[in-house]
Amino acid sequence: MFTTPFEKIITRAWGKPGSHSLETYQAAGGYQALEKALEMAPAQVIDEVKKSNLRGRGGAGFPTGMKWSFVPKDNPKPKYLCVNGDESEPGTFKDRYILEHDPHMMLEGIAITCYALDAHVCYVYLRGEFKHQAERTQAAIDEAYKAGIFGKKVLGRDFSLDCYLVRGAGAYICGEETALLESVEGKKGWPRLKPPFPAVVGLFGAPTVVNNVETLASVPHIFQRGAGWYAGLGTDKSGGTRLVCLSGTVKKPGVYEVPLNLTVKDLIFKPEYGNGLPAGRKVKAVIPGGSSAPVLTADELDVALEFEALKTKQTMAGSGGVVVMDESACMVRCLWRVARFYAEESCGQCTPCREGTPWQTRLLRKIEEGRGTHEDLETLVHVASSIAPYPPIGLGNTICALGDAAALPTHSFFQKFKDEFIAHVEQKKCPLGDKPWGAFQDAYNKGLPQ
């Protein structure tokens, strides 16, 4: 593949004045893709998306067209589309920029998707903290209603579509698709047992598709330029471009739209992306797909930022959060920080996750503070394995994948940096030296999980 020359599509208007307005979006050809899609039969629209090889950008990389085709045609209940804009995975910060700079791209994707699914209602679920993004999105929805894009007759056709914005209350778990559905229904964000999957029994018990913001923003390009063109941007199994969020020890952190054959190494070192590390620093480890993705060592960076390629390294492309750690980073401390997040965000429904995540955190604190024993190291691996064994990825013992997300970093950090864990135990201190705790210490003093 890679028969289509790379160009920026999702980020093409970012930074241009008024990029969030309907006027600017339409001046650049916006909503022409919707016109084209409305000329097709819904089943044809789904086929085009299948041909484009678009895969979900929310984390799991599930083929989008296939997901849409799971919605039963003969179910008499209404069908729904829910947009996942919860974006709370540490290291991931891309969807907020789409909402801020080009919300109409996502709205056009919503209209095409709803037409394909025969859905007449869409809920856009945004993370509670996204105040500015929520305002931008609501303003864009209002513009779309005024212009006849949403409402009783979408672009004058015999198709009605209503779109509502829902703001969460700041819980990571509500990004898990079934917890999101519970939250939209006004309940506590507790994931549901699957099957049944949302495509069959979703929002209010009706067939529902949940798609990520970036996934939906990708949809118009498939119809504007053709499924073959879109597929040609990527690999045989994965079309298009993708957004990656680069953070940690690099000179130029930020959100970059990249071709799917770009390696982790090139993302970090090429001048147009991260431009390397500050003088005197060397890469020690890289998280390639958000904090739940198993960590890579400095020797493993010649791998493309793409779903299948990262799988060969027993890790995942996830939600595109690439976090670079240099040699001054203590792997025990970094893992402890990640573990605290998952302990804080566990919904408490499943015993392995509810009990295991704070247990990991307590053990890691003990090891980092020089009070750990060899037995604690064994217990740490045992606790992580009780939540989810590794490898392979995705065989956890919990209702949702938050358990996997909490256990995979522990397994991979420990396997790849075992000597550093042992050095903490044997030297009875952090071999990288004590660092000021700053805000981290304050959080402890306030009684967050330890």
CB of 199 to ligand FMN, least distance (A): 11
CB of 174 to ligand FMN, least distance (A): 8
Among 4, 137, 183, 212, binds ligand FMN (CB under 6 A): 212
- Cis peptide preceding 90, ω within 30 of 0: no
Instruction: Kindly state whether residue 318 participates in binding ligand FMN, applying the rule CB under 6 A.
Output: no
Region binding ligand FMN by CB under 6 A among candidate stretches 1-9, 209-217, 265-273, 381-389: 209-217
Among 117, 184, 329, 400, binds ligand FMN (CB under 6 A): 400
* Token representation of residue 106: 């996502």
Residue closer to ligand FMN, measured from CB, 181 or 324: 181
The contact pattern for ligand FMN, residues 214-233, with x = CB under 6 A and - = no contact, is: -x------------------
Buried b (16+ CB within 10 A) or exposed e, 218-245: bbbbbbbbbbebbbbbbbeebbbbbbbb
Among 60, 139, 200, 443, binds ligand FMN (CB under 6 A): 60
Among 108, 143, 176, 420, binds ligand FMN (CB under 6 A): 176
Instruction: Kindly state whether residue 175 participates in binding ligand FMN, applying the rule CB under 6 A.
Output: yes
Q: How far lies 162's CA from each of 45, 169, 331, 349, in Å? A: 20, 23, 48, 33
DSSP 323: E
CB of 366 to ligand FMN, least distance (A): 26
Q: How far apart (Å, rounded) are the C-alpha atoms in residues 215 and 169?
A: 23
Query: Which of 254, 211, 218 minimizes the C-alpha distance to 234?
Result: 218
Instruction: Kindly state whether residue 289 participates in binding ligand FMN, applying the rule CB under 6 A.
Output: no
The single-letter code of the amino acid at 305 is L
Among 173, 203, 206, 338, binds ligand FMN (CB under 6 A): 173
Buried b (16+ CB within 10 A) or exposed e, 129-155: ebeebbebbbebbebbeeeebbeeebe
CB of 431 to ligand FMN, least distance (A): 33
Instruction: Kindly state whether residue 94 participates in binding ligand FMN, applying the rule CB under 6 A.
Output: no
Q: How far apart (Å, rounded) are the C-alpha atoms in residues 52 and 177?
A: 23
Instruction: Kindly state whether residue 58 participates in binding ligand FMN, applying the rule CB under 6 A.
Output: yes
Strands 241-248 and 208-212, sheet pairing: unpaired
Phi, psi of 70 (to 5 degrees): -75, -15
The contact pattern for ligand FMN, residues 339-368, with x = CB under 6 A and - = no contact, is: ------------------------------
Q: How far apart (Å, rounded) are the C-alpha atoms in residues 298 and 281?
A: 12
Q: How far apart (Å, rounded) are the C-alpha atoms in residues 292 and 413?
A: 11
Query: Which of 180, 181, 160 minimizes the C-alpha distance to 171?
Result: 180
Instruction: Kindly state whether residue 19 participates in binding ligand FMN, applying the rule CB under 6 A.
Output: no
Residue closer to ligand FMN, measured from CB, 168 or 274: 168
Question: What is the gyration radius of the CA atoms in the chain, in angstroms?
Answer: 22
Ramachandran quadrant class, 210 (left: phi over 0; alpha: psi -120 to 50; beta: rest): beta
Instruction: Kindly state whether residue 86 participates in binding ligand FMN, applying the rule CB under 6 A.
Output: yes
Question: Total binding residues for ligand FMN by CB under 6 A?
Answer: 25
How long a stretch of residues is the chain? Answer: 450
CB of 182 to ligand FMN, least distance (A): 12
Q: What are the DSSP calls for 371-413, one per residue?
A: ---HHHHHHHHHHHHHH--SSSSS--SSSSTHHHHHHHHHHHH
Among 402, 406, 407, 430, binds ligand FMN (CB under 6 A): 402
Instruction: Kindly state whether residue 403 participates in binding ligand FMN, applying the rule CB under 6 A.
Output: no
CB of 58 to ligand FMN, least distance (A): 3
Phi, psi of 184 (to 5 degrees): -60, -35
Among 52, 69, 84, 360, binds ligand FMN (CB under 6 A): 84
Instruction: Kindly state whether residue 182 participates in binding ligand FMN, applying the rule CB under 6 A.
Output: no
Region binding ligand FMN by CB under 6 A among candidate stretches 111-119, 151-159, 170-178, 254-262: 170-178
CB of 176 to ligand FMN, least distance (A): 4
Residue closer to ligand FMN, measured from CB, 176 or 266: 176
Q: Let me know: does 424 contact 431? Beta carbons within 8 Å.
A: yes
Instruction: Kindly state whether residue 177 participates in binding ligand FMN, applying the rule CB under 6 A.
Output: yes
Instruction: Kindly state whether residue 87 participates in binding ligand FMN, applying the rule CB under 6 A.
Output: yes
Residue closer to ligand FMN, measured from CB, 30 or 289: 289
CB of 435 to ligand FMN, least distance (A): 29
In DSSP terms, 256 is beta-bridged to: 244
Residues that bind ligand FMN (CB under 6 A): 56-60, 62, 67, 84, 86-89, 172-173, 175-177, 210-212, 215, 400-402, 405
